[in-house]
Amino acid sequence: MPTNSAAYLAAPYADLTVAEAPYTSAAAGELVIRARAVAVNPLDEIKQSTGNVMYGWLPSPAVLGEDVAGEVVEVGAGVSGFTAGDRVIGYAVGMEKNRNHATEGAFQLFTVVQAQLTARIPDELSFENAVVLPLAISTAASALFQTDQLGLRHPTSGAVPADADADTDAAEWVIVWGGSTSVGSNAIQLAVAAGYSVITTASPINHDRMRALGARHVVDYRSGSAAHEVVDLVGGRPVAGVFAVGTGSAEPALSIAIATGARRVSLASPSVSMSSLPRRRAPLALARFGLRMLARTAPLMVRSRLRGIRTRFVWGSSLMTNEVGPMLWGRFLPEALAEGRYVTAPRSEVIGTGLESIQPALDALRAGASATKFVVTL
Ligand SMILES: NC(=O)c1ccc[n+]([C@@H]2O[C@H](COP(=O)([O-])OP(=O)(O)OC[C@H]3O[C@@H](n4cnc5c(N)ncnc54)[C@H](OP(=O)(O)O)[C@@H]3O)[C@@H](O)[C@H]2O)c1
């Protein structure tokens, strides 16, 4: 039996600490991956910073982490398409409700993943570049393709225009607010792969990156007129949906939908940043945060309803219980990566090697990231 170790969140608000962990074999439908790279996400940082405000069901100690890349070491019963030694990426869902929280978190050497949320990667793709994808692409796909979200048509094999000039003036628009986020970078590529033209927002320093991912137009979201600029660029063409990523993105996204006639808006981020909360138990600050959240979200939902626009929050793991999961992980992603039709975005920045480097990676994320995913090699 291999020896396992994990980076544990031993108590609410604590720094991660590395300790021995049990090794768990793959059950039916599962794989065990020897992790070679993991990435950190805002939700890991939020869980660490806010105690039990989110993921209150997670026990202490907890193993966080969603993004893992490595080699398959065990294949569970009933799993086809994978063998030991395969190089893969997997979406680790250990933080979700009703999962095995100890064995399915990504921040350990041997992680149990669902085969249906795992994809083989090409030999030439490094683990540290590939690991930027799992949560971000899953969230983007859930938002764009689930029938209860934007409900867009799915990408088809071979339909990915590699550059923005390949789309046509006849295509419907999809608006991705926050294209330089990890989620947004994947939403741009997936929408283009499904045959839509994309208008997105990002800071000017990232505009060329957005165009390289396939966006037709990019607007600076910090300019006071960004929503108007997007509406002008739409130019009367139909908008199939608006996907809002980033704190404060919901309001401009809804304004764009109202002005362009889009009927659906999908929201990835709360209207108030959780990073405004101190990293300790702070009931007063939490109450203020709750009130600010209510004051921002309630009018948005009322306005949306009055305008007949369906506005919903998306949950990145929801694709594991519907047809979007198999479409993305079983078909589109492995094929598109193998054929070089999908790029790993955002770029990865390796913070260090070993489980001890995950805490510095979380600290780096807390300080801020721009079109970058912080990664640790193992
Ligand atoms: N609902 C879910 O299941 C789910 C899953 C994953 C993530 N999320 C949420 O989605 C958001 C993005 O997560 P991520 O991992 O993709 O983030 P990330 O990669 O860390 O995002 C960094 C980027 O955010 C951009 N940004 C910052 N503030 C923005 C704003 N107000 N509007 C638009 N863009 C903004 C910055 O763009 P510039 O550098 O260009 O300025 C920066 O490049 C977070 O709020 C996260 O909590 C939700």
Rounded CA separation 54/113 (Å): 22
Question: Is there a single domain that holds both residue 78 and residue 161?
Answer: no
Residue 315 CB less than 6 A away from ligand 1: yes
Domain-ending residue, one of 300, 317, 334: 317
* CA–CA separation, 335 and 158 (whole Å): 9
**pLDDT at 157 (0 to 100):** 63
Probe residue for ligand 1, chosen from 245, 249, 311 as the CB with the greatest number of ligand atoms within 8 Å: 245
Q: What are phi and psi of 221, to 5 degrees?
A: -70, -15
**Mean pLDDT (the chain, rounded):** 95
User: Looking at 115-245, which runs of residues are DSSP E strands?
Assistant: 118-120, 173-177, 197-201, 217-219, 239-244
**CA of 164: how far to CAs of 94, 145, 200, 333, 363, in Å?**
37, 21, 12, 20, 35
What is the token pair recorded at 361? 């990676």
Residue 370: CB within 6 Å of ligand 1? Answer: yes
Nearest-atom number in ligand 1 for the CA of 185 is 16
Q: Which helix (H) or strand (E) holds 374?
A: strand 372-377
Same domain, 231 and 350: no
Based on the structure, what is the number of domains in the chain?
2
Q: Give the pLDDT score at 156.
A: 80
Range of the domain at 56: 4-132+346-377
Domain boundary among 296, 317, 338: 317
The pLDDT value recorded for residue 167 is 53
3-state secondary structure of 201: strand
* Residue 338 burial (CB count, 10 A): 15
pTM of the model: 0.97
Give domain status of residue 156, yes or no: yes
Distance CA(244)–CA(262), nearest Å, equals 13
Q: Are residues 24 and 167 in the same domain?
A: no
* pLDDT, position 171: 87
**Same-domain check for residues 38 and 108:** yes
Phi, psi of 241 (to 5 degrees): 175, 160
Tell whether 69 and 86 lie within a shared domain: yes
Say yes or no: 12 and 94 in one domain: yes
- For the chain, counts of helices (H) and of strands (E): 11, 16
Residues 219 and 298 in one domain: yes
Predicted pLDDT of residue 284: 93
Residue with tokens 């090409």: 122
Average pLDDT for runs of 10 along the chain of length 378: 95 97 97 98 95 91 98 98 98 95 97 98 98 98 98 78 54 97 98 97 98 98 96 97 97 98 97 88 92 95 97 97 98 97 97 98 96 98
Question: Do 119 and 145 reside in the same domain of the chain?
Answer: no
Nearest in space to 13 (alpha carbons), one of 40, 50, 41 = 50
Is the same domain home to 81 and 201? no
Report the residue count for the chain.
378
